[in-house]
Structure 1
Amino acid sequence: WSQVLKKKLEGDTLPPKIVAVDLQAMAPLEGVIQIQGDITKLSTAEQIISHFEGELADLVVCDGAPDVTGLHDMDEYIQAQLLLSALNITTNILRPGGTFVAKIFRGKDVTLLYAQLKIFFPNVTCSKPKSSRNSSIEAFVVCQNYAPPKGYVPTMINPLLDLSYGSDNEFSSPNRMIVPFIACGDLSGYDSDMTYPLEKKSLDPLQPPISAPYRTAISLKQKNFYNKVS
C-alpha cells in the first residue's frame, strides 16, 4: 500500500508524508518512513504519532491480518483486535473529515465492529475487491468523514472495542446499523476462485522477503528432515 500511495500522490504541490508499519523488515522505499513494530503495542503507536509532529493525517490504511489458525472464531477475534489497534492509533492522528480503510473478517460478530466504527465515522462501507476470493470472509471497511463523538479524548491506553458481549447488547430494529456492501473490481479480469495455467515465462519477485519466517522450514524440508523416522 505504501508503494501505491506514493505513486498516487506523486506530483502533489507538497510532498506527502507516508509512514509505513510492519512486523517484518521492509525493503527501503524512497519517500516513505518505515517502522518495524507491532501496532498493538503502545511504543509503536507513540513512534508513529511522533513522526507527524503535531500534524494530522488525511488517510490511514490497514492491511494487517493474523496468521490464520483455521479456527474461524479465533481468527476473527484476533483480526478484530488488530483493527482495534489501528483504530486506536487512527483516532490520535486522523484529521476531522479524514478516511480510514482497514481489512476486516466478516464473521458472526462483525456487526459490533460496524456499530463501533459508526460512532467515529458517519459513512462506513464494506467493500469486497474482485481480487479477494469469494470463499474468503476477507473484506475491507471504508470509513469516511471522521467525526469523533463530542467530548471524546483519544487515548492509547483503553481499548475502544469490547468483543465480550452478550445477548443483552443486541439492538432492536430501529438501532441496527445496515452497512452497504459493494463488490468492486473488473469482472472481465481473472477470477480469484479459479485456477489458471502458469505462463511459460515466470518473473522473479521485484523484492523477495528479507527475512522470511518460513526459511527454516524450507531448509529442513530440503534436507528431508520431516521424512526421517525417529
Structure 2
Amino acid sequence: MGRTSKDKRDIFYRLAKEQGWRARSAFKLLQAEETFHLLGGLTRAVDLCAAPGSWSQVLAKHMYEPLPLEEREKVKIIAVDLQGMAPIEGVTQLRADISKESTAEAIIDFFGGEKAQIVVSDGAPDSTGMHDFDAYVQGELLLSALSISTFILEEGGSFVSKIYRADRTSRLYTHLKRFFKDVCVFKPSASRNSSIEAFVVARQFCLPEGYKPCNLITEWHEHPDSWVCRKKENPPVVHVPFVAYKGDLDSDRTYDLGEDYVYKEPVQQPLTAAYQDILKKTSQVNIKYEGIRVMHDEELFKEWYKAGVCLSSCDNNGYKNTTN
C-alpha cells in the first residue's frame, strides 16, 4: 500500500500526523473525553502501556498545557511501559511491569504518597489472528490494568481501558462493577466498525468493604469465595451498557486528498519496539536454504532409463541417482 493511499483510506491516520499526535489512537481518548468529560480539573494521571505515547500526549494537552507556567508543576502525569518512548513535556516515564506491586508503589511515590485521579490504558497484545485467543489475552491485560488500579486509584477516580467485544465482555464488566459505580463500553468513531475493539469507561471508583487489593487474574487461588462467575444452571443475563460516539468522520471511509496535499511522516517512530530484539537475533542466523535445481532433459532421461538407472532424488547438478 502506498503512502498516500493509506492517508486516503484512514482519515484519523492522516490527521494524527497533521496535528502532531504520535498515533491515530489519540483520537479515541479525545472522543472519550469529549463524551464523558473525564480530564477536567485533574492533576494526577497514569497512562499504562503508554508507548508510543499518544494517550500521554492527550493527558498533557488537557491537564498540563492549559495551565500557566507557575501552576504546571502541580500536574503529575506518569507513563508506564516496558518499552521506551520519546520524551513528552509534562509527562514522566517509568519503564516497569504493570503486573508487579513494586510498580504500584513507585507510582504512589511519584505522587508524593497520594493516588491517581484517573488511570488510562490503551495496551493490546500482538494479534495472532486467532480471535478467541486474542480476546482472551486482551481480557487478561485489562485485568492486569484493573488490578494495579485498585492499588493506585483514589476514591471516586476514573478508569479507561481497551476491551475486545467478545464472549468475556460481560464477565469483565461484572469485574469492573465490583469497583466502579458507573461502567459502560464506549465505541469511538476513530475505532473502525469492522474491529471488535472498544473501550470501557468506568467512573466513581470505590473499593468494596473489606477488600484488599490483589492480582485479579490469580485472585481465585487465594480467595475462592470471591469468584465473580460461579457455574450455575441458569446464570443471570448481564446487560452491558454501550455508548457510541457520534462524529462526522468515519474511520472506514476513504477520503480524497486535496490538490495541495503534502505527505507527512509519522510523528514518532518506535524507539524500542518488541520486534527489534528478534531482528537483531535473526540478523546473525542464516535461515535461508539453497534452492534445488531440477533438470528436464527427455533424451538424458531415456538414456538413463535404458541403462537401468532409478531416479530417486536431486543432487547439486539436478539428479542423485541409484542404480538398480
Q: Where does the alignment leave 5 or more consecutive residues of structure 1 unmatched?
A: 220-224
- Deviation (angstroms), 1:167: 4.3
Query: Match for 1:27 among 81, 86, 89?
Result: 86
Q: What amino acid is aligned across from residue 208 of structure 1 in structure 2?
A: Q
Residue deviations 1:112-151, cap 9 Å, x none? 0001110111110100000111111100000010111111
Residues 186-225 of structure 1 aligned to structure 2 (within 5 Å): 186=247, 188-189=248-249, 191-196=250-255, 200-214=261-275
**Structure 2 CA distance, aligned partners of 1:195 and 1:217?**
35
Tell me, in whole angstroms, the C-alpha distance in 1 between the residues paired with 2:232 and 2:189: 37
Equivalent residue, structure 2, for 1:6: 60
Q: Pick closer, same or farther for the CA change 1:197–1:117 going to 2, 3 Å.
A: same
Query: SS of 1:76's equivalent?
Result: helix
1:196 CA displacement: 4.4
CA separation in 2, counterparts of 1:206 and 1:9? 21
Which residue number in structure 2 is paired with residue 168 of structure 1? Answer: 232
Matched, 1:61 2:124: no
Q: Is residue 88–residue 155 contact of structure 1 (8 Å, CA) maintained in 2?
A: yes
Deviates more, 1:30-39 or 1:156-165: 156-165
Letter in 2 for 1:171: P
* Residues 62-117 of structure 1, C-alpha deviations (whole Å, 9 max, x = no match): 10100011111211111111111111111111111110010001111211000111
Would the aligned equivalents of 1:40 and 1:82 in 2 still touch at CA under 8 Å? no
The one-letter amino acid of 1:4's match is: V
SS at match of 2:235: coil
Cα distance in 2 for residues equivalent to 1:169 and 1:90 = 33
Question: What amino acid is aligned across from residue 168 of structure 1 in structure 2?
Answer: K
RMSD, aligned α-carbons: 3.2
Deviation at 1:218, TM superposition (A): 8.3
C-alpha distance 91-218 of structure 1, shift in aligned 2 (>3 A): closer
2:142–2:163 Cα contact (<8 Å) kept: yes
> 2:256, 2:220 → 1: CA distance?
44
**Alpha carbons of 1:131 and 1:226: their partners in 2 closer, same or farther (altered >3 Å)?**
farther
Structure 1 position 228, deviation (Å): 6.7
**CA deviation map 1:10-49 (0-9, x unaligned):** 3445621111012321101122110123323444344333
User: Secondary structure at the residue paired with 1:122?
Assistant: strand
Once the two structures are TM-superposed, the CA of residue 226 in structure 1 deviates from its matched residue by 8.8
For the structure 1 residues 67 and 109, does the alpha-carbon distance in structure 2 shift closer, same or farther, using more than 3 Å as the test? Answer: same
More helix by share: 2
Counterpart in the other structure of 1:90 = 149
Check 1:184–1:82 CA distance in 2 against 1; reply closer, same or farther (3 A cut): same
Distance 1:48 1:156 in 2: 17
Write the distance in 1 (CA, Å) between the matches of 2:161 and 2:152.
15
Residue 110 of structure 1 is matched in structure 2 by 169
Partner letter of residue 90 of structure 1?
Answer: S
Cα distance in 1 for residues equivalent to 2:163 and 2:234: 21
Structure 2: any 5+ residue segments left out of the alignment? 1-54, 222-226, 281-285, 292-324
Query: Residue 39 of structure 1: SS of its match in structure 2?
Result: coil
Match of 1:222 in 2: none
Separation in 2, partners of 1:202, 1:154? 49
The CA distance in 2 between the partners of 1:171 and 1:72, in whole Å, is 25
Equivalent AA in structure 2 for residue 116 of structure 1: H
Alpha-carbon contact 1:84-1:159 (below 8 Å) kept: no
